[in-house]
Structure 1
Amino acid sequence: MPLSRRVGLAVAIAGSAVASTVLPFTAHAESTVLYVDNAANCSDKGTGTQAQPFCTIQAAADVVEPGQTVDIVPNRYFFGQVTVKRSGQPGKPIVFRGGITISWPNTFVNAEGQGSADAHAFVLDGVHDVTVSGLNLNAPQEAVLVKDSTRISVDRTSITGGQSSTAPQESPNIRVTGTSANVTVSRSRIGASPVAGVAIDAGVTGAVVTTNYIAGTDGRGLLVTDAPGTVIVGNTFNHNCDGADLELAGNSAGATVENNILTKQHGCPTNATAVPLVVSAGSVQGTKVDYNTVVPLSQASASYSWGGTSYATPGEFRATGQGAHDNAVAPRLANGYTPIAAEGLTDAADPTAPGLLDTDLLGNEPVDHPNIANTAPTGYRDRGAVELQDWMRVSVRGVPYSQEGRPLNAQFTVDYSAGWTPGSAKLDFGDGSPSLTIEPGHQFIDHDYPAPGSYTATLTGTSLTGPSRTDTAQVTIAPVPEIRTQFWWSRDDQSRAQITVRPASVSPWPIARHIVDFGDGTAPAVSEGPSSTASITHEYGVGGSYTITSTVVDNHGRTASQTQTAGVPGPQAGVPFTGYFGGPTSHNGLFDNGTWALSYHKTDWRPNSVWGFGNPGDIPVVGNWDYTCQCQHAIYRPSTAAFDLSRTDGSISHVPFGNPGDLPAVGSWDRNGHDQVGIYRPSTAEFWVRHDDGSYTPLHFGNPGDVPIVGDWDGVHHSQFGVFRPAANPWEPNLFIFRHDDGSYSTVTYGNQGDLPVVGDWSGTGRTSYGIFRPANHQFTLNNSYAGRADNVYTIYNNYN
């Protein structure tokens, strides 16, 4: 049914701006708006532009003109009292406006602890046509003091005050005093005062207190003293335990008290005896009390005090000729002020009462509950400060959800609560496809869009009685990505020239086929259908370097290919080498037919670096040729008795030395910051050292058949000779023999027959240790006795995948 709204008390409300909802902080034309923001670029000496706002509210209050709005930035604290000294004009009020989020003010003005125990947050003394809205106010005295002022509106505020231990006396949260007239307090949350939430003092006329939540005071909720003609409509009084929720004292005749909820059942102590509604003998004349819900703490408590006589129930109170529609329905108030549907509260107020606003405490418009009869002859309004809303809710959220086989898909999260009179809900995907009927509850819905683009999905819920709710979600569907392919290959059986290729292709459409060409001239391997991503194993006839090509095909005919080069070792395990390639310790690797595979970690893992240098039959050599902190690689070719040294500038130095069949022995013979080459002749057990000037020095050491080793056995920062004597029988150990600078030597047994020697500083002690490489299982075992740690045992292979 249509709502018949009546603003009422036109004189009291005209020019007060309470008949329109206060909006959050927004930008306006520079000529009508002054900005306040205590950010770094503010200035109280400027003109309050948006580019350079005032730092304090007081600075704006000192210069504001009629019709101007002072926009105060939200989510910020401002400290100190604001004294309004300037007035607006009828129809052109001065407006102080903060921000409102989730129905409550989030701009804070705090006068507590600012050097004055009697400070207020806002003082309006001797001014007219001023509105204060959207502010969260706190002060040691009255947070808002209105004195000798006219056409003042305090709207959509949250107010606490008058309870500081340093204040000279206890005070209400809002006081309207002196000769003030036509002052409206509306849609505000007021509480926590030892005296009263709102006090209307003697001499005030035409005051309106409407649509407020007044709760938690230690004294009265609203105290009107010697102020005739006050309108008190549509408020919720709750938890005002030690005094009346609403008291008309002295001579406050001609008041209107309608559509209020007054209850003490929410949190008051059991011994609380205060009467919810008190009207003094001098205030009875011409006062109207009706359409209120009045609930004392207990049935034994009085609900009304009328002219000095107590009445326990609304039924008894009707004997006074008042309260014809009053009741004592227990108001179930979620969070203290939001009602739950109930006969006697919902659609049970007088829609023609003076002072009613178009929206409630939370900014909601009135709604007619379809299942509860309207009490008033015409129209519908709820009692209290909050209008009950149909709890039908719709919510939709959407995200692109591209997945294999469905690249244009989106997923929606949908919530639908049916509300008072269940109707239906439809989800329109915004692409011209048929809408989907949504059942009540929470669910996930997939939808495939026809093409890339931006779409707005709309969820609409419709009640059988007419109210509807909508929510939208925008999703952007990206273009279909290209098909991509990649693969990994590995040698699972290290004893064979065999690899396994593992395709890992990605396509927005289903993959139909993988084709793998192993690069050795054999027919490509083809796998079809859903299992086309399975691993494929291939064995080469001989080790070598092969180019593998993997091609993927999706069910839309699109293809993609990737190639990789695989170094597949032959049957030999490789020749170990050792050197410093960066870091504090030596590194190991394997040389195989001209391919170097270096491991940095000394753990079971594939080599970290692989490069090519040399030919089959060469012997790997590592040394510091170029006065650097790191070694360079080289090879010794026994067939031609020559070294090829790789230099840091990319050149190769060819150094002939020795005879065919000799073995390389490299070290710092001249002790001048780099290494020199040398050879060991196994047939005669002789070392031959070549110096930088081209001369050479021989040294006999070891026995024929020994293998040369070179290291810093004593930690003296230069090279010393040694030999490795392989075990002659399986039950015998290998023998390491180390020659020292004084000509003496020491020995150690380590490893078994078939092992190859490696020497290096494995743990950063500055002293060369020893170890072995076992070709049978590609295992290094490095002795760490010099560092007092267990031997390091790990496996690497001379392939690099």
Structure 2
Amino acid sequence: MNKSISAVLRTRATVLLTAGGVTLLGLPAVAAAESPAKLYVNNRQDAHCTDTGAGTPAAPFCTIQAAVKAVAPGQTVLINPETNYDEPVTIDRSGEPGKPITFAVDATGAARALLRSDEGLTINGASHVVVRGMVLFGGMKINRSSDVVVEQSEIHGSTKGLRVGDGSTDVRISRSRVTSPRIEGGSRGTVLSRNLIVGGTDEPAVVADAPGTAFTNNHFSGGCETSLSVSGSSTGSSVLNNVFLTAEPDSSACAADKTRTPLVVAQSATSGTRADYNLLAGSPKIATVPYTWAGTAYKDAAAFAAATGQGGHDIITPNRDRVGVMDGSLTIDSGDPTAPGALLTGDMDGNPVADDPRVPNTGKNGGYVDRGAYETAEHLTDAFLSIDQAWAPTGTKVTARPGSDSRWPSGLTYTTDFGDGTPPVVTRPGDATDGAATHVYSSPCSCAVTVIVANALGTKLSASWPVKVTPAGPLNTVFTAQPVVPVPDDEMWPVAPLTFELDTKATAAPWPIQNVDVDYGDNTSDSFQALDTFRHTYKTPGDYKVTVTILDIKGGTSTSTRTVKARYAPSGYVATEPFRLMDTRTTSSAVSGPVTVTLPVGRAVPGHPLSSSMAAAVVNVTVTGATEDTHLTVWPQGQARPATSNVNVLAGGTSSNTVTVPVGSNGKLYAQLNSGRASLIVDFVGYYQPETGQRFSPLAPTRVLDTRTTGVPLSGAKTRTVKVAGVNGVPADATAVALNLTGTGAKEQAHVIAYPDPAKRPATSNLNVEPGKDKSNQAIVPVGPNGTITLFTNTGSTHVILDAVGYYGKDGKALFTPVAPKRLADTRTTGKIAPGATTTVSGLPAHAVGAVLNITATDTTGPGFLTAYASGGTLPGASSLNALPGRTVPNHVTTPVANGKVSIFNSYGGPNHVITDLLGYFTAN
């Protein structure tokens, strides 16, 4: 608020009040140094209330009446508004001058405490009492009491309402909704100010034998015939600044043929009684006689004033639409600020008394208090700001245009701070710039322009707008490119193993950007309208040349290029209980391909919500019912089909293998037969994910179980529990173990399952065995109870050999980096490995400590086995793959690595061709 205007307003109000010789009636003052204790009432079920305690917040009173018995002068009883209080309450205790006892709602805002008893609230023989924020459904009686304040309350009850009697003195009711008040029984000095007074069908507001009663700035609504009746010995009373709204003729409770007479003052009460500055709104549809004074009816204000000297400033109108808080209301700035009990601190809704600059002040002595319970105040509801050059180089003129939603715009000021330390600029709507402020920035900054909008009452609102002041110079494109490490459950970027974040915000751009074109180097591109950070996921690992071209609004262009290296991130392993993803036998007899395999990324597979950011999946793939000899390749969807294989199968046969494969950028895999058709079964085993999971520790193949040494094979429909953790170099707290599972001596075709919990056998498989053939497959199995896993075969019997090749756990040594399936070696181009010979496979990273390979033995002339181990290491006494004459046999192999190399030993069964495909590697990073 402008200080000079504020001072004038404050001074003017003071002069008017002093001139009338009136003391404002308000709350009893409490010494500033005092801090009255508080008592609490809360009958909520969880409040632990008791009526025998001290009324603390931890143990409040259950009833208001219990608090009445305990309250002392200067104390406040705070009543919780969240429940109802079904009790009659009688306040018969008193405060002291300057130390009232107060009953108030324990809340802020419009919350009220509800007293639902039909007996309502009675104040009897008490003094210095304050009641605030109550809803009284049974009415309120004040008898033989003095210095009582009731405010911000609701007093209901069509036959009870408010009753002040039995010689009560100095009772003040303000800012409340009051039904059918009766002031009677010799009460003196009662004041009702700023209330909504609702009359019942036959219950007007009544003043009977109550001298000095003041009705000031109230709204009277309802009452079929009379709104306010003053009678008996109620001399020296006053009816000032009120609004009377008579009942409409179509009101179902009021007869249409009854004449409405809002104000009736009996002969016995006229001495010293004043009535003026009231507004009486009737209806052209019904007869209205505004006044009856000393038994005589008066049809208009002029006749009333001429005969009685009262009502000379009254307004009588049939237009009810011009009564209320609205522009053009007849109530605005037309009241008497010196009226007894006039509250100039605020109305029913908290609006202050304010001078509407658009309306002449027609109140007493030029006063500007409104008539009725409400003030038409300056509602400054919003402030806003626009900037013509929110992004520009130094030296550019910047114009800020403030604005607001205000009822009284003529009294506004705009104070605009441009945020660079320069003095604010003060403008006003309607001046030479119509409130706009201009500024030239002398140095670059990221500043905020802030405007403070203030009205004549001192109400202030603010709005801000960021501005970017740039160095003058040419457009120069600068961008960074960083790989995004996937995080768990990132639903926006569900699979991001090859995602890059490109940031162009470092670009030197003096003027706003019109367009940003990005060529990602993989035959895809994007276009944006702002410098920002954005992401792109590559489908295939590789090196890509990214080009960013920027255009600004002044036509300037700039281009920058850099190479990004898209690689899979090192990841830990998350072991899961195995479950079936796909079985084409349930949908068709055979498939060829490519077949889409949807992985459980996020919620892609119902019932199995897993990580939304896995980098690679481990699945067990079974091919059965092949129409011809063939092989199956599995790879990430969105990438080119690699020249590798995962499962080899004979016509009519069944073969399975574990596959570790990167996840496609859409969360899916492809599986395709080289030729022919077959049924495909895919079981999910686990997954690798950056920033989570367990590290891997490779082991030289170590035998864990060989049922041939005991002579007790694994029998059909039987289980075998095997200790795998806490033995053979695997720590007891390992979470999963990588095992090479071999079946031999099978009595019939069957499958073997390896799983963690003996009580939860999954509907999956790990190995398909056949009579007369040794078959192997690697399995990664979560560790079950007491460091064990469980083996099961569905039929027949078979000997089982388990070789541990590594484990996952909190003390693991290495993370896994998946690669797009890649062929490392193929002896079909160099010659077979002779019996007892070793071949060395290179091409792994020099810092790799382990590798995941798919090793295939083919063109075998005699039964035997292959063993993979770290180059230069000791040949272990366990196998990685069993080779069969005339068969092409693959196996998923996890092996240690040394100096980027792996050795593969061929047993003495016969020469073999060996094909080695890389699926990923482990590094101790």
TM-score, reference length from structure 2: 0.51
Change (3 A) 1:3 1:35: same
Q: 1:312 aligns to what? A: 299
Q: 5 Å matches for 1:323-722?
A: 323-329=311-317, 337-338=324-325, 340-343=327-330, 345-359=331-345, 360-370=347-357, 371-395=359-383, 415-417=404-406, 419=408, 421=410, 423-428=412-417, 432=421, 457-462=450-455, 466-472=456-462, 485=482, 505-509=502-506, 530-533=516-519, 536-537=522-523, 547-549=542-544, 563-565=565-567, 582-583=580-581, 585-586=583-584, 599-600=597-598, 620-621=648-649, 623=655, 649-652=737-740, 669=749, 689-690=771-772
Change (3 A) 1:278 1:429: farther
Q: 1:34 aligns to what? A: 39
- Which runs of no fewer than 5 residues in structure 2 stay unpaired? 1-7, 394-399, 469-477, 486-497, 510-514, 525-538, 551-557, 569-577, 606-614, 619-633, 637-641, 659-680, 686-704, 706-735, 754-765, 777-793, 798-918, 921-925
Deviation of 1:275 after TM superposition, in Å, equals 0.7
Deviation of 1:279 after TM superposition, in Å, equals 0.6
2:361 and 2:368 in contact (8 A); partners too:
no
1:511 and 1:554 in contact (8 A); partners too:
no
Deviation of 1:328 after TM superposition, in Å, equals 0.9
Q: 1:770 aligns to what? A: none
Is 1:43 the counterpart of 2:36? The answer is no
Aligned pair partner of 2:240 in 234, 248, 258: 258
Tell me which amino acid in the other structure corresponds to 1:323.
G
Equivalent residue of 2:304, what SS? helix
Q: 5 Å matches for 1:287-306?
A: 287-298=273-284, 300-306=287-293
1:12 and 1:184 in contact (8 A); partners too:
no
Tell me which amino acid in the other structure corresponds to 1:582.
R
**CA distance in structure 2 between the aligned counterparts of 1:51 and 1:9, rounded to whole angstroms:** 50
Equivalent residue of 1:203, what SS? coil
Is 1:161 the counterpart of 2:157? The answer is yes
Tell me which amino acid in the other structure corresponds to 1:505.
L
Deviation of 1:585 after TM superposition, in Å, equals 2.5
Deviation of 1:38 after TM superposition, in Å, equals 3.4
**CA distance in structure 2 between the aligned counterparts of 1:261 and 1:32, rounded to whole angstroms:** 40
Q: 1:87 aligns to what? A: 94
Q: 5 Å matches for 1:7-18?
A: 17=27
**CA distance in structure 2 between the aligned counterparts of 1:367 and 1:653, rounded to whole angstroms:** 90
Deviation of 1:376 after TM superposition, in Å, equals 1.6
Tell me which amino acid in the other structure corresponds to 2:315.
N
1:253 and 1:283 in contact (8 A); partners too:
yes
**CA distance in structure 2 between the aligned counterparts of 1:86 and 1:8, rounded to whole angstroms:** 38
Change (3 A) 1:395 1:65: farther
**CA distance in structure 2 between the aligned counterparts of 1:314 and 1:81, rounded to whole angstroms:** 45
Change (3 A) 1:377 1:651: closer
2:191 and 2:213 in contact (8 A); partners too:
yes
Deviation of 1:125 after TM superposition, in Å, equals 0.8
**CA distance in structure 2 between the aligned counterparts of 1:456 and 1:177, rounded to whole angstroms:** 61
Change (3 A) 1:623 1:156: same
Deviation of 1:630 after TM superposition, in Å, equals 7.9
**CA distance in structure 2 between the aligned counterparts of 1:655 and 1:391, rounded to whole angstroms:** 86
**CA distance in structure 2 between the aligned counterparts of 1:81 and 1:214, rounded to whole angstroms:** 23
Q: 1:520 aligns to what? A: none
Is 1:246 the counterpart of 2:234? The answer is no
Q: CA RMSD in A?
A: 5.7
1:426 and 1:460 in contact (8 A); partners too:
yes
Equivalent residue of 1:3, what SS? helix
Deviation of 1:176 after TM superposition, in Å, equals 0.6
**CA distance in structure 1 between the aligned counterparts of 2:217 and 2:540, rounded to whole angstroms:** 89
Tell me which amino acid in the other structure corresponds to 1:548.
D
- Which runs of no fewer than 5 residues in structure 1 stay unpaired? 21-27, 113-117, 163-169, 192-196, 406-410, 489-500, 513-528, 539-543, 567-579, 634-646, 658-665, 679-688, 695-715, 720-798
**CA distance in structure 2 between the aligned counterparts of 1:357 and 1:181, rounded to whole angstroms:** 19
**CA distance in structure 1 between the aligned counterparts of 2:369 and 2:22, rounded to whole angstroms:** 23
Tell me which amino acid in the other structure corresponds to 2:228.
L
**CA distance in structure 2 between the aligned counterparts of 1:146 and 1:482, rounded to whole angstroms:** 78
Is 1:3 the counterpart of 2:13? The answer is yes
Deviation of 1:85 after TM superposition, in Å, equals 2.2
2:453 and 2:461 in contact (8 A); partners too:
yes
Deviation of 1:374 after TM superposition, in Å, equals 2.8
Q: 1:761 aligns to what? A: none
1:242-272, Cα deviation, whole Å (9 max, x unpaired): 1311110222222112111112166863544
**CA distance in structure 2 between the aligned counterparts of 1:19 and 1:361, rounded to whole angstroms:** 21
Equivalent residue of 2:459, what SS? strand
Tell me which amino acid in the other structure corresponds to 1:313.
D
**CA distance in structure 1 between the aligned counterparts of 2:130 and 2:656, rounded to whole angstroms:** 86
Q: 1:522 aligns to what? A: none
**CA distance in structure 1 between the aligned counterparts of 2:562 and 2:100, rounded to whole angstroms:** 71
Is 1:152 the counterpart of 2:186? The answer is no
Deviation of 1:620 after TM superposition, in Å, equals 2.5
Change (3 A) 1:61 1:11: farther
Equivalent residue of 1:223, what SS? strand
Aligned pair partner of 1:186 in 170, 174, 178: 174
**CA distance in structure 2 between the aligned counterparts of 1:136 and 1:450, rounded to whole angstroms:** 60
**CA distance in structure 2 between the aligned counterparts of 1:560 and 1:52, rounded to whole angstroms:** 70
Q: 2:861 aligns to what? A: none
Q: 1:119 aligns to what? A: 119
Equivalent residue of 1:61, what SS? helix
**CA distance in structure 2 between the aligned counterparts of 1:281 and 1:617, rounded to whole angstroms:** 115
**CA distance in structure 2 between the aligned counterparts of 1:552 and 1:667, rounded to whole angstroms:** 64
Change (3 A) 1:74 1:581: closer
Aligned pair partner of 2:215 in 195, 207, 232: 232
Q: 2:915 aligns to what? A: none
Aligned pair partner of 2:62 in 50, 55, 60: 55
**CA distance in structure 2 between the aligned counterparts of 1:366 and 1:258, rounded to whole angstroms:** 16
Deviation of 1:654 after TM superposition, in Å, equals 8.5
2:36 and 2:74 in contact (8 A); partners too:
no
Deviation of 1:649 after TM superposition, in Å, equals 4.9
